[in-house]
Copies of this chain bind each other. A is one copy, B any other.
Amino acid sequence: MEELTTDLLRRHGLSVTGSRIKILALFLQSESALAHHDIEVKTKEKFDRVTVYRTLQTFMDKGIIHTIPTSDNSVKYALCKDNCEEGHHHDDHIHFICSRCGITSCLDKVQVPHIKLPRGYQSRQTEVVISGICKECSL
């Protein structure tokens, strides 16, 4: 794991530090998207709240994670899969929010559909967030 995180950081031109390793590891271990608060809670070793903010921002800038839009206030973050570069997100999967257990996850297998817009509108990115009952909760 340490190997993996270190690699990922280096590949994105970031220096390897304790907080970055720990936070990145959290994302790699997690099936679901994480809110700022989750990160504060789940890292064994506690980091300053400010460090978490800055680390998330850095990961965003470098295309390591992306945000998932939600209708309520909350911002959730998830790992970008492969082809995100600095400044260019290519997340072409949809997101799912379970209204029972609350987890937010990326459904990597489900492609975002192409949507025909009215004349004059130019689409750059399409976000799809579906809420409902997830696989686990509907058992």
Interface residues of A (CB under 8 A from B): 66-73, 75, 94, 96, 99, 107, 109-110, 113, 115-135, 138-139
Q: Do residues B75 and A73 form an inter-chain contact, with CB atoms below 8 A?
A: yes
Contacts of A134 in B (CB 8 A): 120-121
Q: Do residues B115 and A130 form an inter-chain contact, with CB atoms below 8 A?
A: yes
Contacts of A69 in B (CB 8 A): 69-71, 127, 129
Complex: A124 Cα to B118 Cα, angstroms: 26
Residue of B nearest to A123 (CB): B132
Copies of this chain, complex-wide, total: 2
Given the interface pairs A67-B72, A69-B71, A70-B69, the reply to whether A135 lies near B113 with Cβ below 8 Å is no
Contacts of A129 in B (CB 8 A): 69, 126-127, 129
Complex: A127 Cα to B134 Cα, angstroms: 16
Complex: A61 Cα to B130 Cα, angstroms: 21
Q: Do residues B131 and A128 form an inter-chain contact, with CB atoms below 8 A?
A: no
Q: Do residues B133 and A124 form an inter-chain contact, with CB atoms below 8 A?
A: yes
Contacts of A70 in B (CB 8 A): 69
Contacting A117 at CB < 8 Å: which of B110, B115, B125? Answer: B110
Q: Do residues B115 and A94 form an inter-chain contact, with CB atoms below 8 A?
A: yes
Given the interface pairs A71-B68, A94-B115, the reply to whether A132 lies near B128 with Cβ below 8 Å is no
9 shortest A-B CB distances, which residue pairs?
A120-B135, A69-B69, A124-B132, A122-B133, A123-B132, A67-B71, A69-B71, A127-B129, A122-B132
